Structure 1
Amino acid sequence: MGDLINAIIMGIVEGLTEFLPVSSTGHLILTADLLNFTGERAKTFEVVIQFGAVLAVLVLYRQRFASLLNFKFGKGSGLNALHILLALIPAGVCAVLLHGLIKQYLFGPQTVLIGLVAGGILMIVADRVRKKPSAEELDDITYKQAFAVGCFQVLALWPGFSRSGSTISGGMLFGASQKAAAEFTFIVSVPIMAGASGVDLIKSREFLTMADLPLFLIGLIAAFVVAMVAVVTFINLMKKIKLSWFAYYRFALAALFYFIIL
């Protein structure tokens, strides 16, 4: 029963934090430490529940994903698969080249703490020096802005930096509104998260057993349901509050992280 409760808690944490600019990695490490839910089995579980969060975005933006193959060029062409590809290339190339080094050297409490603080500083900078939006809506995002978001996504390879935090900041610095940058981040996150989690899952397949199936399914479902609510709520918040508020939360989390784990 204890493991099932842990699965629900971890699934909720994953769903709440995966697409918010607050670092799901930092929250999962902190939560797992508090629950004493660690080891290779727990790491494999964390990979599985990420698919629940990915599925939530696929469901919420299913019509948008279906329309990505509608290629039109020029002003007002709308979002298409080329935007996504341009945003994927920088982080994708770096992830392939540096995957082993990242797993070996960067997945630890100290590096996550650094990522939380550095990512928060980037978000405050983006809030204060951002341009007047030239892309108010998702379909207004240009290829140049898409590639810029992709370059900022490279920062998310550092655990704790936050994929959504770095990409939303990058989008804002290159002229996208908070809302447009957030929605673009959600869509771009699906292929890169699915790919990265898929690779990790294959490498961790020895830790997958039928006995753990209920545990993994409960965590995945919890992450899916909570992520659905979190994404819709976050998009509405992006219309009302500044990105900096999430940065201040990150600083508070970093302090908590320091005193509890370090």
Structure 2
Amino acid sequence: MTQIIEALFLGLIEGLTEFLPVSSTGHLLLVGHFLGFESTGKTFEVLIQLGAILAILTVYFNRLWTIAKALPHDPDARRFVIGVLIAFLPAALIGAVLHGFIKEVLFNPWIVCMTLIAGGFVLLLVDGLPLKEEHRDATRFPLSMYLKIGFIQCMAMVPGVSRSGATIVGAMLLGASKRAAAEFSFFLAMPTMGGAFAYDLLKNYDILSANDVAIIAAGFVSAFLSALVVVKVLLDYVSRHGYVPFALWRIVVGAAGLAGLIVFG
């Protein structure tokens, strides 16, 4: 029962942080470390992301369905889908090659704390730059821009960097508005996180027990419900306030994590 409660709590953290530029995986690794939570094959942290993916699909269902229906006759719809796939490709290839190294070496709370702090300062810097907002529609970025964002997203394979943070910063530096950058991070999350879920499940399904499945299911439901809230409110919030609060949060959490590791190990 204790593990289920921990899974629900960690799922809540996953859903609240997945689409914020604060690193959901970093938060899960840190909180799990101090709780003493250890998942089989470190699969929990990856597989519960499916809950967050379904939250996006729920909120964006009508828009996605409109794009899907337009594919046979609308070149703009086809171009956007191609753009998302182009942005997804670098992470798919590099993630498959480095999967073992990422989990065995980089899933480390010390690395998480340092990247949280460093990423916070980067986010502060970028948010304060006088950037030109040349692209305000996430479905109409140039194809070359989609590819560049895709390569920048690969930095998030280091836990603590943040997938959404990397894509948002990359898009803003390439001329996207804050809102469009956040929205494209939602769209790119679907194939990226879906691919990570499928690949991790394929690699580890044979070592998962019925108890593991129950724990993952609890985290999945919790992540879905909390992510629904974030997806619905994030775009309006960043359009008005920017990313400074999230940058400061990263720095505070990273510093607190380092202090905890030094004191408690």
* Match of residue 187 from structure 2: 187
| Residues 138-162 of structure 1, C-alpha deviations (whole Å, 9 max, x = no match) | 2332223212211210111111100
Q: Percent identity at matched positions? A: 38
| Residues 79-107 of structure 1, C-alpha deviations (whole Å, 9 max, x = no match) | 62111022112222222232232223211
Q: How far off its partner does 1:47 sit?
A: 2.6
Cα distance in structure 1, aligned partners of 2:189 and 2:199: 15
What 5-or-longer segments of structure 2 have no aligned partner?
Answer: none
* Match of residue 177 from structure 2: 177
Amino acid at match of 2:10: M
Could you say if the C-alpha distance between residues 188 and 260 of structure 1 is closer, same or farther in structure 2, counting changes exceeding 3 Å? same
Cα distance in structure 1, aligned partners of 2:193 and 2:29: 18
Query: What TM-score do you get using the length of structure 1 for normalisation?
Result: 0.90
Q: Are the equivalent residues in 2 in contact too, given 1:130–1:174 (CA < 8 A)?
A: no
Amino acid at match of 1:92: A
| Residues 108-133 of structure 1, C-alpha deviations (whole Å, 9 max, x = no match) | 11211222122223212322335221
* Match of residue 90 from structure 1: 90
* Match of residue 61 from structure 1: 60
Q: Are the equivalent residues in 2 in contact too, given 1:60–1:228 (CA < 8 A)?
A: yes
Cα distance in structure 1, aligned partners of 2:130 and 2:85: 24
* Match of residue 259 from structure 2: 259
* Match of residue 241 from structure 2: 241
Amino acid at match of 1:252: V
Cα distance in structure 1, aligned partners of 2:100 and 2:147: 25
* Match of residue 134 from structure 1: 134
SS of the residue 1:29 aligns to: helix
Q: Are the equivalent residues in 1 in contact too, given 2:120–2:247 (CA < 8 A)?
A: yes
* Match of residue 32 from structure 1: 32
* Match of residue 3 from structure 1: 3
Q: How far off its partner does 1:72 sit?
A: 5.1
Cα distance in structure 1, aligned partners of 2:149 and 2:136: 15
Amino acid at match of 1:251: I
Q: Are the equivalent residues in 1 in contact too, given 2:54–2:224 (CA < 8 A)?
A: yes
SS of the residue 2:156 aligns to: helix
Cα distance in structure 1, aligned partners of 2:8 and 2:116: 24
* Match of residue 110 from structure 1: 110
Amino acid at match of 1:44: T
Q: Are the equivalent residues in 1 in contact too, given 2:52–2:224 (CA < 8 A)?
A: yes
Q: How far off its partner does 1:27 sit?
A: 0.9
Q: How far off its partner does 1:212 sit?
A: 4.2
Deviates more, 1:231-240 or 1:61-70: 61-70
Cα RMSD after superposing both structures? 2.0
Query: What TM-score do you get using the length of structure 2 for normalisation?
Result: 0.89
Q: How far off its partner does 1:232 sit?
A: 1.3
What 5-or-longer segments of structure 1 have no aligned partner?
Answer: none
SS of the residue 2:161 aligns to: coil
* Match of residue 202 from structure 1: 202
Amino acid at match of 2:48: I
Q: Are the equivalent residues in 2 in contact too, given 1:134–1:140 (CA < 8 A)?
A: no
SS of the residue 1:175 aligns to: coil
Q: Are the equivalent residues in 2 in contact too, given 1:130–1:175 (CA < 8 A)?
A: no
Q: How far off its partner does 1:237 sit?
A: 1.0
Higher helix residue share: 2
Instruction: Give the number of equivalent residue pairs.
Output: 258
